[in-house]
Amino acid sequence: MSEPFQADILIVDDKPENLRLLDTMLTQEGYKVRKVTTGKMALQVAESARPDLILLDIAMPEMDGYEVCKYLKADAITREIPVIFLSALNLTFNKIQAFEVGGADYITKPFHLSEVQVRINNQLKVRSLTKELLEKNTQLETANRKLQALVNIDGLTEVANRRHFDHCLELEWHRLDREAKPLSLIMSDIDAFKAYNDTYGHQAGDRCLQAVARGISEQLKRPCDLVARYGGEEFVIILPDTDRQGGLVVAESIRSTIQALKITHAHGISEKVVTLSLGLTSLIPRHNLSPSEAIARADKALYEAKTQGKNRVCFQGE
């Protein structure tokens, strides 16, 4: 048999003599057995601690086996539990109805113990294989999510990478075009980062990039906002449904946050700490424009911020 000592079987029957007989037989075979005498009790027990299999009588007062099985199969918690009907009703109609409500098998009373054992073992084998398949599917889904994260996330800074940024910008561009709503895009660059690397080394440079990425991320309050590493020491931020004024507020918040980190930089532009220059553009996407147009404008605004002295926000409109 397929590891019977691990199987938990719930018997539902309003006749005590049937419960005693099945309990004795299944316990001797090494199964864990629970017994209830009503359909309502069966539903409560099955939901609180799911059995591996249910042996279910049909003719019971208040709630018959058909109704019990319907409730079991309608509940996400219990729908996967196999149900074997045990009944004195032996008409074809009764058996068809049992399978229609979700029964996995049907045994007619009076039953032979050997038949019950074989049918139970068959259903437990199916149940075991189903569990194994579900576990493998769950593992596969988890692996796919991790793989997707690796594809979309920058390994060093753990924000979105350039590939994911391009994809998200394209999606938001078309959505906001349809809805005629504004999009703000911020391009940012760590001031004098080459000098930082030359002075403190690339490991310190990596830590600096990670701190800046965290600082930017903390200033984005909505799930739809996205920060991505654009390349090297550049970060780009997508702000959907955000006009110029809103974009300026976010950009300035990011700029002041990074300066407030007080990451020592001997060649820093202000207070000898790491700072950011930021370029902002805001526009309503249109079909005759492309996302690259927004990137070009934000990049131009960033260039202005650099040439005007760094550690500042500049705006480039339409």
The candidate with the shortest Cα–Cα distance to 168, out of 179, 176, 180, is 176
Q: What is the overall mean pLDDT for the chain?
A: 91
Q: Which tokens belong to 72? A: 């079991």
Q: What is the pLDDT of residue 1?
A: 42
Do 277 and 311 contact (CB within 8 A), yes or no? yes
Tell me the sheet residues that pair with 314: 279
- Over residues 83-102, the mean pLDDT reads 90
Least confident window among 67-81, 112-126, 188-202 = 112-126
Nearest C-alpha neighbor of 168 from the set 182, 150, 185: 185
**Residue 307, SS3 per DSSP:** helix
Band (pLDDT 50/70/90 cuts) for residue 142 is confident
pLDDT of the residue at 37: 93
* pLDDT for position 3: 47
Give CA angle at 167 (162, 172), nearest 5°. 120
- Tokens 């079991």 locate to 72
Cβ-based neighbour number of residue 221 at 10 Å:
8
Q: Which residues pair with 228 in a beta bridge?
A: 160, 236
Specify whether the CB–CB gap between 242 and 183 falls below 8 A. yes
Contact yes or no for 53/9 (Cβ under 8 A): yes
Q: Which residues are catalytic?
A: 233
One-letter amino acid of 153: I
| AA letter at 195 | A
C-alpha closest to that of 243 among 187, 318, 194, 184: 184
Residue 211 confidence (pLDDT): 97
All structural domains of the chain: 4-141 (3.40.50.2300), 162-315 (3.30.70.270)
Q: Does residue 165 have a pLDDT over 80? A: yes
Q: How far apart are CA 23 and CA 15, in angstroms?
A: 12
Please compute the mean of the pLDDT values over residues 24-40 and round it to a whole number: 91
- Angle between helix axes 202-218 and 193-200 (nearest 10 degrees) is 130
Which pLDDT value is given to residue 293? 93
Q: In angstroms, rounded to a whole number, what is the distance separating the alpha carbons of residues 175 and 185?
A: 15
Q: By C-alpha distance, which of 75, 217, 236 is closest to 158? A: 217
User: Position of tokens 């048999």?
Assistant: 1
Cα 279 to Cα 313: distance, rounded to the nearest angstrom: 6
CA angle, 31 then 33 then 35, to 5°: 160
Mean pLDDT of 18-44: 91
